[in-house]
Chain A
Amino acid sequence: MDGNAGYGRALSRAFGGALLFSFPLLMTMEMWSLGMAVERWRLLVFLLLTLPMLIGLSYYAGFEPTFRLKDEVLDALAAFGVGFLLSAVLLSIFGVLRADEIGTQSAIGKVSLCAVPAAVGALLAGKQLGERGPGEREKAEAGALGELFLMAVGAAFLAFNVAPTEEMILIAYQMGPLATLLLMAASIGLLHLFVYQLGFPGETRRREAGGFSRTFVAFTAPGYGVALLMSLYLLWTFGRTDGVAVHEIATMTIVLGFPAAIGAATARLVV
C-alpha cells in the first residue's frame, strides 16, 4: 500500500473522530446563534488561537518524539480542513445553513465555530487510532509546561461542550455563595484525585511529585488555575460576560470551571 492510501485511511479516521467529538455541538442550538452573534474580533482571536493549539496538540498526540514543524503544521491544517468540511456538510443537512446564506458572515461564523471542536477530534483520531499496536505507540513526553498546555486543551475542550448553553448562566444564577464554594472545592478535589490518586492510564508520569502539599501546590493548583482561565476565556468569547456584574462572572467561571477541571484532569487520557 502506498503512502497515499495510508494517508487516505488516516484521513477517513479523522472524519470519524471529528464527527464523534463535534456532533453534540453541531446539534446544539446555541452554537448556531452564537456563530451569528459572536463578536467578530472575538471569533477572529478564537480562530487564530486554534491553529497553534492544533499544532501543539499534533505534537503531543503524535508518536514521534521529535518535533518536526512541517509535519505538525500539515497535520493541524488538514485537521482544521476536516473540521470545516464536516461542519459545513452537517449543518447544511440539518437545515441550519440555508442556500441563501452561503458566503455570508453568519454562515462563516456558524461553520467556523463548530469546526474547532471537530478539528480537535479529527486530529486526535487521525493520530491515535492508528494501525500500529498500542505497545509500539509511545506518546511524546510532556514537560511541566507541556502538561499545563495539555491541561489547558483538555479544559477548553470539555468546557467548550457546555459553555455555549444557556444552562451555564442559569446554574450560576441559581447557586448561592456557599454552593459556589462547594463546587469549587469539588472541582479542585476531583482534579487532584483524577490526576494523582486514581492512576488512569497515561497519568503515570505525574504521580511521583512528592508529598501531598507539594503535589497540590506544584500541579493541582496550576491545573485548576488553567481550567478557570479557560472558562473565563470561553465565556468572554461567547459574550457571556458583557455587562454582567463581577461576582456573577466569578460564579459563571466557577460553574464552567467544573467541567473544565475534569477536562484538565483527564486530558492525558484522550491526548
Chain B
Amino acid sequence: MARARASRGTSNAAPRKPAPKRAPVNDIPPLEWVAAGVGLVLASTAIGLTAWDAMFGVKGPPAIEVRLKRVTPTAHGYVAEIEAINHGGAPAAQVQIEGQTSKEAASVTIDYIPEQSTASGGLIFEDDPRLAALKLRATGFADAS
C-alpha cells in the first residue's frame, strides 16, 4: 500500500512530493484492485450471511437431537459414538447427554453446540448397548456466553 501510494503521486495535477524515481506508475496497480476485490467479496459474504441469519434465521430455543453413529467394542467397554444436532435457533452450552439402556446409564457433557450445527462425543457402556434398548437424549443445557 505504501509504495503504491508513493508512486501514484504523479497522477495528481499538483503532486505535493516529488515522485520516487524508480516507480513512475500512473495508476493504481492491478494487484491493489484484486486485493480490495477479495476483501470486498469476503467482507460482504460475512456481512450478508450474518444479516440473513439475523433476519431470516431459525428462531427459538435449542432443539437437540441425539443420534447414535456406531458402537465399537473395545477392551475398555463398548464405545457408542454419538452426534448431537441442534435444530433450534439458539446455541446451547454445556449440553448434558444421557444414554440409558435397560441395565445401565452413561452420560457426557458437550461444551457447545451452535444453532443448526452438529457436535459429537461418545458414551461408554459395559455391555453392548444395542442389545439393551439404548435410548439417547439431551437432558439439559446452559444458555451460551
A residues near B, CB below 8 A?
1-4, 6-11, 14, 33-34, 36-38, 40-41, 43-44, 47-48, 51, 62-66, 71, 73-82, 84-85, 100-101, 104-106, 108-109, 111-112, 115, 126-132, 136, 238-239
Contacts and interface: CB of A to CB of B under 8 A. Distances in A.
A126 B32 CA distance: 12
Interface in B1-60: 1-8, 16-17, 22-23, 25, 27-33, 35-43, 45-47, 49-51, 53-54, 57
Contacts of B17: 136
Nearest to B20: A132
A129 B3 CA distance: 11
Contacts of B47: 44, 47-48
Nearest to A103: B49
Given A40-B57, A65-B16, A126 B50 contact: no
B116 interface: yes
Interface string B84-128: 000000010100000000000000000010111110000000000
Contacts of B23: 1-3, 6
B61 to A, nearest CB: 14
Given A6-B29, A40-B50, A77 B40 contact: yes
Interface of B: 1-8, 16-17, 22-23, 25, 27-33, 35-43, 45-47, 49-51, 53-54, 57, 91, 93, 112, 114-118, 144-145
A104 B114 contact: yes
A81 B116 contact: no
B45 to A, nearest CB: 8
A41 B114 contact: no
A14 B145 contact: no
A127 B49 contact: no
Given A105-B49, A105-B115, A85 B35 contact: no
A36 B3 contact: no
6 contacts: A3-B25, A7-B31, A10-B3, A33-B144, A105-B49, A109-B50
- 7 nearest A-B pairs in the assembled complex, by CB-CB distance: A81-B39, A130-B2, A6-B3, A3-B29, A40-B54, A77-B39, A106-B114
Given A3-B23, A131-B2, A84 B42 contact: yes
A153 B112 CA distance: 32
Given A9-B3, A10-B2, A81-B38, A104 B29 contact: no
Nearest to B7: A3
B39 A44 contact: no
Given A6-B29, A7-B32, A111-B46, A63 B57 contact: no
Given A36-B144, A63-B5, A126-B2, A106 B43 contact: no
Contacts of A104: 114, 116-117
B1 A14 contact: yes
Contacts of A77: 35-37, 39-40, 43
Contacts of B2: 6, 10, 63, 126-132
Contact of A82 (B7, B28, B39, B53): B39
Given A6-B23, A40-B54, A74-B32, A131 B118 contact: no
Contacts of A129: 2
Given A34-B145, A36-B91, A105-B116, A81 B42 contact: yes
Contact of B3 (A3, A43, A115): A3
Contacts of B116: 104-105
Contact of A74 (B33, B41, B50): B33
A104 B50 CA distance: 10
A99 B63 CA distance: 23
